[in-house]
Structure 1
Amino acid sequence: MASATLAAPFGIVCGAPVNFGADPYTLGIASGCPRADSVILWTRLAPSPLEDGGMPQTPVDVEWQVAEDEKFARIAARGTERAMADLAHSVHVEARGLQPDRIYWYRFRAGSAVSPVGRTRTAPGGPKPRVRFAFASCQQYEQGFFSAYRDMAARDLDLVVHLGDYIYERSWGSHHVRQHGVGIPTTLAEYRNRYALYKRDADLQAAHAAFPWLSIWDDHEVTDDYANDRSYTIRDSVQFLKIRAAAYQAYYEHMPLPASARPRGPDATIYEHYRFGDVMDVLLLDDRQYRSASACVNGGRPTWIVPCAERIEEARTMLGRAQERWLDESLGKCHARWTIVAQQTLMAEDRRGADDGDHYWMDGWDGYPNARRRLLDALVVHRTRNPVVIGGDRHAFFAGTLKRDFTKPDEPAIATEFVGTSITSDGPSETATRKAIADNPHLTFARGDKRGFATVEVDAKTCMVGFEVVDDVKEINSNVRRLATFVVEDAVRGPKLI
């Protein structure tokens, strides 16, 4: 979106003047965390984005405006935020006093440099006919272009939900179309540069500028398949927590998150409850930071194995006890027509039969079956209306149902589940997804050969889900089309392919 003309001029910025030798808004602008009366606005001043931003150590005052119109003739909120070096000169503005369910436009100014204009929207505060959103995950920069985001930015959506793997810390896969150019990040400066590389992408910037985002992380924002303070690639837990602190800090610096999500060393709280009027509650979960160590792998990489007894120990947790308690309390406060549980991966059991026994993937919920059971029990106890679980991580589309005991085909379903494929990251083989369907009757759809995202529309009667796919992720201007459409009816558990 182009910079707006100064129909309503910015005020006078106090403090030392700042002049930029290059555009400081190279990483774009973004909004997120919409409430009925507020939204978070983000930008980062980075005239030399791949050189740790290229900013001096001094703070810079950044003005911001929120308007009811694109020309900024009717200003709804304004203020000044100080961009500090210890946050990479990023700003996280909580724009308050806004009207519910309202489209707004926003922009920033630092010195004489005015940002592009972004569009955002507050959450509805009461009755709402429908809510439309997209969810996405897994965008390995080297393996494809972000044409999915170009298509997403042109849609009529209320928000975007990102479910993790916003960056990748390492190179993998084949037929790369672009390069990270450097090795695996371990320091704050290196993680900052990795985010800057990704966020320079014009299609990703367009999707951020078009809608507010809700965001959670998965593993690759830190390192592959880590669990709490354990990493199979970095065995020293003290060293790993230093790396995790740098990674969490860089994530916060580059996403439209509230101050409550700012890390405290290697710890940060990103799980949260968002309400969208009477039609939808969204519960964002964090299944990486607090989980028990991977079972049955003796500190190695969690993979597909015949599990041991450790897997089914009752004490094992995916969310941590504090987050489990919070989730239980939050479910008691969900009174909308639909409750969306947004988490990182496939929650349904994915058993793979083999000659030596049933194999399960230890990095997912199958490595923590009793933690999954406790979550599903909470949905039952609170009589959660129309629970729909969404996930990513698996680089494949899945649709199915969730139940307490997956070995009983006739047991009633507790929730409906949809998993979106990756934006770019290579997916599983057709043989693997066919076997998932064959061995797991509660999974009704699986495709891993396409990249893309999912769209959701919820109203009083239905939840409509579309699986949107990129024709060729290796082509920068590839088209996007609908692969499959599902409907979930009010008071019915399970998706119907239409």
Structure 2
Amino acid sequence: MIVSLARHMEDFELDSTNLHAMVRLIHTVDLTSSPRTGTMGGTPFTGRYFMARGPLVDRRKFLAGSAGAMSAAFFGGGPLDALTSRIAPRQSQVWDAGQVRHLLPTVSESRILLKVSFEEALLAAPTLRVGARSFPGRMNDTSGRFWQFYATDLDAGATHSLSLVAANGSSLCEPWTLSTFPPADARPERFRLLFFTCAGGPEGTYTGIGQRRGNLPTAIRNRLLRRALSFNPDAAVANGDHIYWDLHRWSGQRTGALSPRAETSNFDFSGSVFGTSNEAALMLAAEPQIVPVYGTNFRSTPVFFLQDDHDHWENDAAGAFPIAWFQLQLARATQQLYYPEFLPEANRPLGLPWSASSDRGYLSESFGTIRYGSLAEVLLYDVRRTMTLGPQAVFVDPTVEEWLLARTTSPGVRHVVHAPSNPMGWSAGKWGEWYPDVLDRAVGALTTAVPKPYWQDGWLSQHDRLVDAMSGMRARTPLVVSGDLHAIGAGTMQRSGTLNLASNPVTTVLSGPVGTSEGGFPSAVRGVGSSPSGHLDLVETVPPIEQHGFTLVDFLPDRMVVSLFRWDVNSQPLEAIDGLEPFYTTELSTP
């Protein structure tokens, strides 16, 4: 197994003597153990855990690669040093996190799935207790620090008491509560859903108003999310870009070459992720971007994580997608370790791509449903995992499109909302968008008059089929809340190509980024901000604002209420986060 490097690093001062001590610690780890037995520092353990079949790590390669890369990152002041000082946010004294480092739950009407990491590796399986019932943990890494818990056959619409217990019976953290969703035929009066995007990114710095470098510090991202949680949402959607660690350059003369971050991580692209040096390299890159952002703050708020381009360890530049096999495995491993997959739902086919039943339970990696009684259904879809090129190009697999169209037109639920990982309504001129808009450098604006290199017409055709179905919901008001775009905005789509949507326009919302760097906003990348696609007639009620924020949507039987929040790092103090109120609210009445 691979030792829990992140935890042990906290005990080291970053000098050469102790780096060598850390390397000696790596030497003590026995990576040749069977999947059910092993040693850590000479101590035997038994347990059931996953280890990918593949070549075991070579010690010299591990030390020359991962340890050398870690040394370079540490002494070069690289973002990996976040593991030593920023990895665990301070938790509220009201709730004792105990040995838990981070905890992210998701739920359906009868199931709970938890992803949990612990301060120390656990040598035997812990247990999740839900009321009087017990559910054994399943190890998700090869060291025993990451576990998942899958509880089934629970009462719907109930508040459940949860606790995590070690194999010896001791408590691993204070008990807490988590509610399952109401059954599909229930008629709740209200449902509040939080949306945000782009919470990832290596640790940045902030020294005062307008004085920051890189991504927002994780403590500030956590503070924004805690403000969002103060409004007591029933669930949350984290829509893409949970990490930024692209492995290839996507612009300039060296396009396609390994990025500096890839060289630091020194991945073995021909090796397995788990059970090799790749596992430690993944954790060193991803953990500082996820664990301190969420901690245990979402323990009582179900969260639904969609992946997007950067979650596949790449930018959505031409040539990067469909994603390479190794980076696909990194994306899957990151999800397995840190945040929950999607639980099954009665109206979502079991055979959709990247959906399967295994010893980890029935889970979908890319397509999810939030069903809250008969009041609301939110359709969650990752457009990167199944995107194709060529004359039949699509963003989502045809079977996924069939599911989306079927649910959009089906009766029995008051509100149906689409939540794709790629924004509808606006273009930033990027390659991997629904739209053909591209930057015309001569005039400094986006245009559809110039062909976008390598862009695929089929992506837009699929977009139009989806929005046509949304607008066709005569008994509902169509709403799309998207991720990916680093901005907050809202508008109504009146036309898409030859489709006249004016009789039931599609309201589209940019949910707001949580961690974007100063160089990550569209205007910084291309010199122009996001704008409505030339393929559309879009009435902008809130033109895209390049600030940090989030969105709340309240579902009621007769309407939806959309509230946008923003915080301006360049003009507002940190304390303003704690008092954020909506700067824009709109009510969408239903017919």
TM range (shorter): 0.7 to 0.9
Please identify, of 205-214 and 135-144, the stretch whose mean Cα deviation from structure 2 is larger. Answer: 205-214
Supply the RMSD in Å over aligned alpha carbons: 4.0
In the alignment, is residue 339 of structure 1 matched against residue 339 of structure 2? no
Structure 1 position 395, deviation (Å): 0.7
Residues 282 and 330, structure 2, Cα contact 8 Å, conserved in 1: yes
Question: What secondary structure sits across from 2:155 in the alignment?
Answer: coil
Equivalence for 1:289: 385
Structure 1 position 464, deviation (Å): 0.8
* 1:250 partner letter: T
Distance 1:130 1:206 in 2: 25
Deviations along 1:104-139, whole A, 9 cap, x unmatched? 342212243512444422112201001001001102
Distance 2:497 2:356 in 1: 37
Please identify, of 251-260 and 34-43, the stretch whose mean Cα deviation from structure 2 is larger. Answer: 251-260
Distance 2:98 2:327 in 1: 27
Distance 2:231 2:385 in 1: 33
Question: What secondary structure sits across from 1:152 in the alignment?
Answer: helix
* 1:200 partner letter: V
Equivalence for 1:242: 326
Deviations along 1:194-244, whole A, 9 cap, x unmatched? 33213331x52244223011121011112233489x517xx9x7xx21222
Distance 1:330 1:317 in 2: 19
Distance 1:437 1:325 in 2: 25
Residues 376 and 414, structure 1, Cα contact 8 Å, conserved in 2: no
Equivalence for 1:428: 522
Distance 1:346 1:478 in 2: 28
Equivalence for 2:557: 460
Question: What secondary structure sits across from 2:298 in the alignment?
Answer: helix
* 1:248 partner letter: R
Question: What secondary structure sits across from 1:114 in the alignment?
Answer: coil
Question: What secondary structure sits across from 2:178 in the alignment?
Answer: strand
Q: 1:326 to 1:397 in 2, by over 3 A?
A: same
Equivalence for 1:386: 477
Residues 353 and 439, structure 1, Cα contact 8 Å, conserved in 2: no
Deviations along 1:318-364, whole A, 9 cap, x unmatched? 10222112323333545211111111122125457856753688899
Which of 340, 365, 370 does residue 274 from structure 1 map onto?
370
In the alignment, is residue 220 of structure 1 matched against residue 220 of structure 2? no
Size of the aligned set, in residue pairs, is 422
* 1:169 partner letter: W
Distance 1:352 1:222 in 2: 23
Residues 514 and 550, structure 2, Cα contact 8 Å, conserved in 1: yes
Question: What secondary structure sits across from 1:246 in the alignment?
Answer: helix
Q: 1:17 to 1:264 in 2, by over 3 A?
A: closer
Deviations along 1:8-60, whole A, 9 cap, x unmatched? xxxxxxx9799xxx99845322210x22222222212352xxxxxxx38xx62
What stretches of structure 2 of length at least 5 have no aligned partner? Answer: 1-43, 48-87, 89-96, 205-214, 250-260, 268-277, 345-353, 428-436
Equivalence for 2:405: 328
Distance 2:426 2:290 in 1: 34
Equivalence for 2:180: 122
Q: 1:41 to 1:184 in 2, by over 3 A?
A: same
Structure 1 position 439, deviation (Å): 9.8
Deviations along 1:81-121, whole A, 9 cap, x unmatched? 24354496533323234333333342212243512444422
Residues 100 and 173, structure 2, Cα contact 8 Å, conserved in 1: no
Deviations along 1:423-454, whole A, 9 cap, x unmatched? 02142349844854999641412233310111
* 1:209 partner letter: R
TM-score where L is the length of structure 1: 0.72
Distance 2:555 2:151 in 1: 27
Distance 2:479 2:494 in 1: 12
TM-score where L is the length of structure 2: 0.62
What stretches of structure 1 of length at least 5 have no aligned partner? Answer: 1-14, 48-54, 67-74, 173-179, 294-309, 492-498
Distance 2:469 2:135 in 1: 42
Deviations along 1:134-168, whole A, 9 cap, x unmatched? 00110224311212112123221100011111111
How does 1:32-51 map onto structure 2 within 5 Å?
32=106, 34-47=107-120
Equivalence for 2:235: 159
Q: 1:336 to 1:367 in 2, by over 3 A?
A: same
Distance 1:401 1:477 in 2: 33
